[in-house]
Amino acid sequence: MDNRFATAFVIACVLSLISTIYMAASIGTDFWYEYRSPIQENSSDLNKSIWTDFASDEADEKTYNDALFRYKGTVGLWRRCITIPQNTYWYSPPERTESFDMVTKCISFTLNEQFEEKFVDPGNHNSGIDLLRTYLWRCQFLLPFVSLGLMCFGALIGLCACICRSLYPTIATGILHLLAGLCTLGSVSCYVAGIELLHQKLELPENVSGEFGWSFCLACVSAPLQFMASALFIWAAHTNRKEYTLMKAYRVA
């Protein structure tokens, strides 16, 4: 094996490993989107009701998003989290004490919630199904797992190529990484579109802002790494095969 191809293969493997780690971390963390809002220190009846509804298994899209807006929420692919005072009061304490220590409370999305329909008017079941937001949500949830699976399968093929001492099977690895990159890019695009459509339906309250978090950024970085690894795998395998064919023809001649 030519040193050029071996070097390209090693670099592609490193890029693939980094992108896999980034993608796995992105899937497993809760900071795809973050809301910034004033700290809710005084626990009124309304605040208590919002916290209870947020943790309920029957919380609909509008209910938990209202809590996310109000309590510095963060959203991942699997969980939604809010930051609330550690202890709740039905009155306003005279001064700030340790009771106002803030804690993060997270609730996991169930599989039913991941695949349930989104409504034109969030929370209103009589407003009709919003098919676009429904399928955007499902794609943003499924595509990262498809991407991760494709990269793992590509890694197995690459391992077989090393055992066989041949670069040719890594063409399949490159194609799988290309498909994984497209899945990651599709997931990121679906997430951005879904968030924008949600904010058109539910406007952010005053003094509340939102931004994409570091989990989302990891997914964004993972996609180009997958494309670069794919290009290197395919180039190394194709060029090495071509030179081997030419060399074989020269020896025959």
Which pLDDT tens digit goes with each residue over 204-238? 888 889 999 999 999 999 999 999 999 998 888 77
Nearest to 146 by CA among 177, 125, 121, 115: 177
Give the per-residue pLDDT at 197: 93
Give the per-residue pLDDT at 122: 87
Taking the model in full, what pTM does it have?
0.84
Dist. CA 225–CA 204, nearest whole Å: 34
How many Å separate Cα 5 from the centre of its chain? Answer: 33
- Across 148-170, average pLDDT: 82
Domains held by the chain: number = 1
- Do 171 and 142 contact (CB within 8 A), yes or no? no
Range list of β-strands (E), 138-249: 209-212
pLDDT digits (tens, 9 = 90+) for 179-204: 999 999 999 999 999 999 999 998 88
Checking if the pLDDT of 77 tops 70, the result is yes
- Do 179 and 153 contact (CB within 8 A), yes or no? no
Residue, of 166 and 129, whose pLDDT is higher: 129
Give the per-residue pLDDT at 249: 45
Mean pLDDT of all residues belonging to the chain:
83
Give the per-residue pLDDT at 253: 46
Give the per-residue pLDDT at 127: 85
Give the per-residue pLDDT at 104: 84
Dist. CA 5–CA 249, nearest whole Å: 20
CA 200, 201, 204, 205 torsion-angle sign: positive
pLDDT digits (tens, 9 = 90+) for 93-145: 545 444 457 778 888 888 888 888 899 888 888 888 999 999 999 999 999 99
Residue 127 lies in a domain: yes
Nearest to 176 by CA among 239, 227, 218: 227
Residue 242 pLDDT level (bands cut at 50, 70, 90): low
Residue 252 lies in a domain: no
Residue 195 lies in a domain: yes
Name the range with the highest mean pLDDT among 27-31, 159-163, 232-236.
Answer: 27-31
Nearest to 49 by CA among 71, 61, 67, 35: 67
Q: How many residues does the chain have?
A: 253
Give the per-residue pLDDT at 33: 95
Query: What CATH number did the domain enclosing 82 receive?
Result: 1.20.140.150
Domain that holds residue 137: 3-88+100-245
Residue 251 lies in a domain: no
Residue 239 pLDDT level (bands cut at 50, 70, 90): confident
